[in-house]
Amino acid sequence: MNPFNPYFQAVKDYAAGLRERGGAVRVWRVDRSASALKPPAESRWARVLKEDTAVELGGPLSAGTVFFLCGDDVSAVDDGRITLAGPDIPETTHRVLPFGQVVLVAGPTLTAGITPELENELHAAGKVPGYMLRSTGGHVWSRLSYQAMHDGFSLKLLGQAILQHIYANLASVSAAEVLFVTSGVGDVQELDRIGILVRSLAHGLRRERIRQATGGEFECESDGDCDVCPNSAVHNPL
């Protein structure tokens, strides 16, 4: 069994709990056959300076968590679903919002060994003009520019971009969905308690792969941005 499988239900139970407490939870759907969003022209991440920032998501003044789950049980994922608990970007007047993001993917052939590829692809999927994502140790701190807000940026559109990137670049993924949480610091912290367990499992699997690599070395084959990549060059002295 894929070691991430049990956590899918934990995320589902968490989302159900938000609804039971009367939280504002909305759902949208992405059609796999729909035309993909036009990718940004720049190959690297957007750089959003403080003076150009309309809204910050997560960060030191609030709470933020980001993680993903990959499993082989396709029935555990509601393909094409985007769920938002809390206000979307166009609806808020706050300059700082708590932010949680979970991406769930599944496919019959998916194993825990695909996690490095998934991490790189999911980071790349967030390359939306005017949206700067920074994630360290699972804690997210994003900035959204005034121009992006003016252009109609929303978490619905971000979820759409993530799912369409997965559909276009990860043939082994049969089902994918996204959960966003902006409803409150406590809600994001509760979600992060699941994220801590998931990230601990992912890190353990990564360390095991490094130990098994020839000479204890791990070589990154991604052409992504090192500033946001969850991996870095590592030499295992063991």
pLDDT mean over 22-27: 90
Res 28: pLDDT: 96
The predicted structure's pLDDT at residue 238: 38
Check residues 12 and 111 and name the one with the higher pLDDT.
12
pLDDT value of position 33: 72
Give CA angle at 149 (223, 164), nearest 5°. Answer: 45
Residue with tokens 């070395």: 217
Residue 223: pLDDT over 70:
no
- Note the pLDDT of residue 89: 95
At a CB cut-off of 8 Å and minimum separation 6, what does 89 contact? 55, 144, 149, 153, 154, 155
pLDDT of 51 strictly over 50: yes
* pTM passes above 0.85: no
Could you tell me which residue, 136 or 181, shows the higher pLDDT? 181
227 pLDDT more than 60: no
pLDDT at 236 over 70: no
pLDDT classification of 220: cutoffs 50, 70, 90: low
Q: What pLDDT does residue 213 have?
A: 62
Checking if the pLDDT of 209 tops 90, the result is: no
Confidence of residue 188 (pLDDT cuts 50, 70, 90): very high
The pLDDT of residue 98 = 97
Q: How confident is the model at residue 35 (pLDDT cuts 50, 70, 90)?
A: low
Reported confidence tier of residue 29, pLDDT bands at 50, 70, 90? very high
Q: Is residue 16 pLDDT above 90, yes or no?
A: yes
Mean pLDDT to the nearest integer, 219-224: 50
Residue 182 has pLDDT above 80, yes or no: yes
Does residue 82 or residue 61 have the better pLDDT? Answer: 82
Please name each of the domains of the chain with its CATH number: 5-31+61-235 (3.30.1650.10)
